[in-house]
Amino acid sequence: MTDDILISGDGPVAYLRLNRPKALHALNLPMCEAITAALEDWRADTTIEAIILDHAEGRGFCAGGDIRMLADSGAGDGNDARAFFATEYRMNHRLFTYAKPIVAFMDGITMGGGVGIALPCRYRVATENTKLAMPETGIGLFPDVGGGWYLSRLPGRIGQYLALTGHRLNGAECLALGLATHYLTADRLDEAKTRIAADPQAVEATLDELSAPAPDAPLLAHRDAIDRLFAADDLEAILAALDADGGDWAQVQRATLATKSPQAMKVSLKLVLDGAQMPTFEDEMRQEYAVAVHVVQRPDFAEGVRALIVDKDNAPRWNPGTPAEVSDHMIDRIFAPLPAGEEWTPN
């Protein structure tokens, strides 16, 4: 279907290998379609006992989705963007609900859409090369692909902190937060894959045996500050708390938030707040699809992609320009359910 992903199913282990190294394996529509189709083929295939999800070469596991296409579509009729989101989210949901064990090797950059394909997997392997983040507020988007579900289930207010700042987690931090199930040094990955292929019934035992002691997780040193300064579900209150603190760490976070889209930050806070109460992952994806359909055609997304990805001037001109200008009514409109017949469905 596409050379951008290598799919094979020899023996009891099947393989999904991302293969767009020049784009850090960012997902496009054919890749999402191919992954979903392969999972469906393997679902009832009794010879397939486990699945390995990794990348072919390069320093990224998966850097995200096809952002430029989404921005171009959003600037027009939005049809291609809606088709991509619908397909990507079906793939995310299929991974989340899959009965057979899937092992994701998050060796390298794992961001945005890469988080969306790694975190649903039963086993998630981090390494010293892992850099995991949901940096969407920097391009006027929000942590989608299930971000509302995963971030809302992290300890304390860490989910809110990550959603707003886009902070990059290393492998040790991923393990400490439960986003990774195992920490292996990168030089043990080939051995792990070989042993899983030889005995897929012993995936967990293999990963347990090959795991290395993870270094300290630096983020946890700031846990008290995160819980205190990001305690509110109101963006203005968080900004006020950071301003009032005056400490070096708080000032760095405040400066970071000053670069993000005010609209995207308010959307992200509500997403995490709502995500904690979502009955199922399907409900989460249905809401995220409605939000994505609305956000992708708003000015901030096109402007964020222009500033950070196209022109690379890193000087986005957000509209609205301040948190105060992002009204509750605007957020309600972004979160409004889609009309019957346009809603996201898992199949």
> Given 49, 66, 88, 136, which residue is catalytic?
136
Is 3.40.50.980 the CATH number for 5-334?
Answer: no
Closest listed residue to residue 26, CA positions, set 70, 80, 64 = 64
Q: What is the DSSP letter of 48?
A: -
Q: Can you give the pLDDT of all 347 residues of the chain as single tens digits?
A: 689 999 998 799 999 999 999 999 999 999 999 999 999 999 999 999 999 999 998 789 999 998 999 999 998 999 999 999 999 999 999 999 999 999 999 999 999 999 999 999 999 999 999 999 999 999 999 999 999 999 999 999 999 999 999 999 999 999 999 999 999 999 999 999 999 999 999 999 999 999 999 999 999 999 999 999 999 999 999 999 999 998 999 999 999 999 999 999 999 999 999 999 999 999 999 999 999 999 999 999 999 999 999 999 999 999 999 999 999 999 999 999 999 999 999 99
Query: Is there a catalytic annotation at residue 144?
Result: yes
* Separation CA 10–CA 198 (nearest Å): 12
60-62: strand order across its sheet:
60-62, 109-111, 131-133, 169-170
Q: Which residues contact 145 (CB under 8 A, 6 or more apart)?
A: 65, 88, 89, 92, 112, 113, 115, 116, 117, 288
- How is 66-83 classified by DSSP, letter by letter? -HHHHHHHHTTT-HHHHH
Query: Is there a catalytic annotation at residue 341?
Result: no
Phi (first) and psi of residue 322, to 5 degrees: -135, 155
> Given 4, 54, 60, 65, which residue is catalytic?
65
Token duo for residue 235:
């963006």
Q: Determine how β-strand 13-18 pairs with β-strand 50-55.
A: parallel
Grouping H, G, I as helix, E, B as strand and the rest as coil, residue 229 is helix
Run of H or E residues at 32: helix 29-43
Token duo for residue 163:
């959603």
> Given 4, 54, 144, 303, which residue is catalytic?
144
> Given 112, 113, 138, 275, which residue is catalytic?
113
